[in-house]
């Protein structure tokens, strides 16, 4: 249905970020928390709007902006994710000397970039959204202006990220050369018809996939991840680990799914993605074993999780991928919230030794962190287990037995480094170094909400699965 309503979620978010920017320069107050509350208000409004327009299929700009259920579902979970990240960072950014109102504005702008990427049906517009997302991300990574690691993260992310964007444009040029269109449906039509320019088009598609593989952090393109995750402020790291990853997978599903069979008969792309998935699971988990920095451990774990989700894509089961991304959002934001809590003025506790005895000194945070780590490792009553189960079950049904064996072995390896943090928290004597200044109700609310999400998705996933089936059913093919 062609309607201006299609622009509403995007406009709400952009409006919020502009209001925040103007308030930031006109009302210079010491306590910037009110900017956070304003963004929470607008995010809630956006969430309610997305919920109301479920199933209405609003579109605008001749259909190049399409709010189908698939897009709306991701709008909603990313809005929730951003809301949680803003709540958890309220106290953190003032402790870390990163208390600029621009933090909230940049987060919202990055969210609007992700909205554009999710809801667009034209590759050039997706590129536009990618740039909005990336440029905000580069600034967010360097938010701790006086901190060397933060600046390093920013520059590293900027240089490599622009390189990846160049790959997208280059691939797009090849696709346009082959099919004379940048519209996703047009490109799909082109792939389904045999042409003499097929090789050119596959080359272009490969380039496009590389650029999203960078955002998602698949293994040959993962080099930036640990450094950027370590250097960025912790809430921003949480954002990087769920937001761009989810959006990358959305675009992959949109472009790959419809002509899966015609492409995979040629077997080239399938083999390449198979190898990438196996490498991502193996390398991510093996390198994480050697890390002693908790943020780096979670960085490598996020690489490994990308590999598991790719198994779902190879099994052609979109619902399991979407479910995995939803669970991953809650458990990863929860884990990073616990790390955010381990902070005092100007100092973050991110080494494993710092966590010795934390489980007894800070029982709530420690217990919640342990639950999130169990969920990431994939223990049964929690969301992480069901997510992995759905993905691997779909893969077994498609006959990808060897990939599933690799995945299960890799996730067995991952249990070691997740539980290592738990062991440090509960079985090592406290060195008394950890004194944290985070008696913050907002942070505890985030911990509680993520805990609720992980348990709900692990024990009673039925309601959400109905939503996800509905969302995946709205894809055009």
Partner 1 sequence: MTEIFLVFLIYGLLGVIMVLVNKILGPKKTNPVKLKPFECGSPYLQDRIYPVPIKYYLVAFLFLLFDVEVVYFFPWALVFRELGTAGVVFMSVYVALLALGFVYAWKKGAFQWEG
With binding defined as CB under 8 A, does residue 199 bind partner 1? yes
With binding defined as CB under 8 A, does residue 155 bind partner 1? no
With binding defined as CB under 8 A, does residue 261 bind partner 1? no
Q: How far apart are CA 170 and CA 212, in angstroms?
A: 13
Which residue is listed with tokens 């609310």? Answer: 445
Return the DSSP state at 351: B
Among 160, 185, 200, 423, binds partner 1 (CB under 8 A): 200
217 three-class SS:
coil
Do residues 411 and 337 make contact, with C-beta atoms less than 8 angstroms apart? no
Q: How far apart are CA 395 and CA 382, in angstroms?
A: 21
| Interface stretch with partner 1, choices 19-27, 37-45, 295-303, 314-322 (CB under 8 A) | 19-27
DSSP code string of 37-67: HHHHHHHHHHHHHHHHTTT--EEETTTTEEE
CA atoms within 13 A on the CB side of 19: 16
Q: What is the dihedral of CA 418, 422, 425, 427, to 10 degrees?
A: -130
With binding defined as CB under 8 A, does residue 21 bind partner 1? yes
| Interface stretch with partner 1, choices 21-29, 41-49, 396-404, 414-422 (CB under 8 A) | 21-29
Query: Torsions phi, psi of 343, nearest 5?
Result: -140, 140
With binding defined as CB under 8 A, does residue 22 bind partner 1? yes
With binding defined as CB under 8 A, does residue 279 bind partner 1? no
With binding defined as CB under 8 A, does residue 18 bind partner 1? yes
Residue number, 197 or 445, with CB nearest to partner 1: 197
348 three-class SS:
strand
Residue number, 60 or 330, with CB nearest to partner 1: 60
Residue number, 186 or 198, with CB nearest to partner 1: 198
Among 128, 160, 185, 197, binds partner 1 (CB under 8 A): 197
Q: How many residues does the chain have?
A: 477
With binding defined as CB under 8 A, does residue 128 bind partner 1? no
Q: How far apart are CA 323 and CA 177, in angstroms?
A: 36
In whole angstroms, the minimum distance from the beta carbon of 200 to partner 1 comes to: 7
Residue number, 22 or 166, with CB nearest to partner 1: 22
Take residue 277 and report the two structure tokens written for it: 């998935």
Residue number, 193 or 345, with CB nearest to partner 1: 193
| Sign of the four-CA dihedral 53, 251, 452, 462 | positive
Take residue 457 and report the two structure tokens written for it: 């998705």
- Per-position x/- string for 25-64, each x denoting binding to partner 1 as judged by CB under 8 A, each - no binding: xx--------------------------------------
Given the rule CB under 8 A, which residues bind partner 1?
14, 18, 21-22, 25-26, 196-197, 199-200
């Amino acid at each position: 249905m062609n309607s201006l309503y299609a622009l509403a979620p995007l406009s709400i978010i952009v409006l919020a970020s502009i209001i925040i920017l103007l308030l930031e320069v006109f009302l210079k107050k010491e306590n910037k928390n009110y900017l956070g509350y304003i963004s929470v208000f607008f995010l809630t409004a956006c969430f309610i709007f997305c919920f109301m327009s479920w199933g209405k299929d609003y579109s605008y700009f001749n259909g190049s902006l399409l709010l189908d259920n698939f897009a709306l579902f991701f709008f909603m979970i990313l809005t929730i994710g951003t809301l949680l990240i803003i709540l958890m960072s309220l106290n953190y950014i003032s402790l870390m000397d990163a208390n600029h109102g621009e933090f909230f504005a940049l987060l919202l702008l990055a969210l609007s970039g992700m909205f554009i990427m999710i809801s667009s049906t034209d590759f050039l517009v997706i590129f536009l959204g990618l740039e909005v997302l990336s440029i905000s991300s580069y600034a967010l990574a360097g938010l701790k202006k006086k901190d060397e690691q933060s600046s390093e993260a920013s520059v590293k992310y900027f240089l490599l990220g622009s390189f990846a964007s160049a790959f997208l444009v280059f691939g797009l040029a090849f696709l346009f050369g082959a099919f004379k269109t940048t519209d996703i449906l047009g490109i799909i039509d082109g792939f389904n018809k045999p042409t003499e320019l097929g090789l050119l088009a596959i080359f272009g598609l490969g380039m496009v996939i590389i650029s999203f593989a960078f955002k998602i952090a698949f293994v040959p393109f993962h080099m930036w991840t640990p450094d950027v995750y370590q250097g960025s402020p912790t809430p921003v790291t949480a954002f990087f680990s769920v937001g761009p990853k989810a959006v990358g997978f959305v675009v992959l599903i949109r472009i790959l799914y419809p002509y899966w069979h015609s492409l995979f008969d040629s077997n080239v792309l399938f083999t390449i993605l198979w190898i990438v998935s196996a490498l991502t699971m193996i390398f991510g988990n093996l390198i994480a074993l050697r890390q002693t920095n908790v943020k780096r451990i979670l960085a490598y774990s996020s690489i490994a999780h990308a590999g598991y989700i790719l198994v779902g894509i190879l099994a052609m089961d979109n619902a399991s991928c979407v479910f995995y991304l939803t669970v991953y959002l809650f458990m990863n934001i929860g884990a990073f919230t616990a790390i955010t809590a381990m902070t005092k003025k100007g100092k973050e506790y991110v080494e494993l030794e710092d966590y010795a005895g934390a489980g007894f000194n800070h029982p709530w945070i420690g217990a919640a962190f342990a639950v999130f780590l169990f969920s990431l490792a994939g223990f049964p009553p929690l969301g992480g287990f069901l997510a992995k189960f759905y993905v691997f079950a779909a893969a077994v049904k498609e006959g990808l037995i060897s990939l599933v064996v690799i995945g299960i072995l890799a996730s067995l390896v991952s249990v070691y480094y997740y539980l290592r943090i738990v062991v440090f928290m509960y079985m090592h004597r406290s060195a008394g170094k950890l004194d944290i200044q985070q008696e913050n109700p907002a942070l505890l609310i985030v911990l509680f909400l993520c805990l609720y999400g992980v348990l709900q998705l692990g024990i009673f996933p039925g309601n959400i699965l109905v939503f996800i089936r509905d969302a995946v059913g709205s894809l055009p093919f």
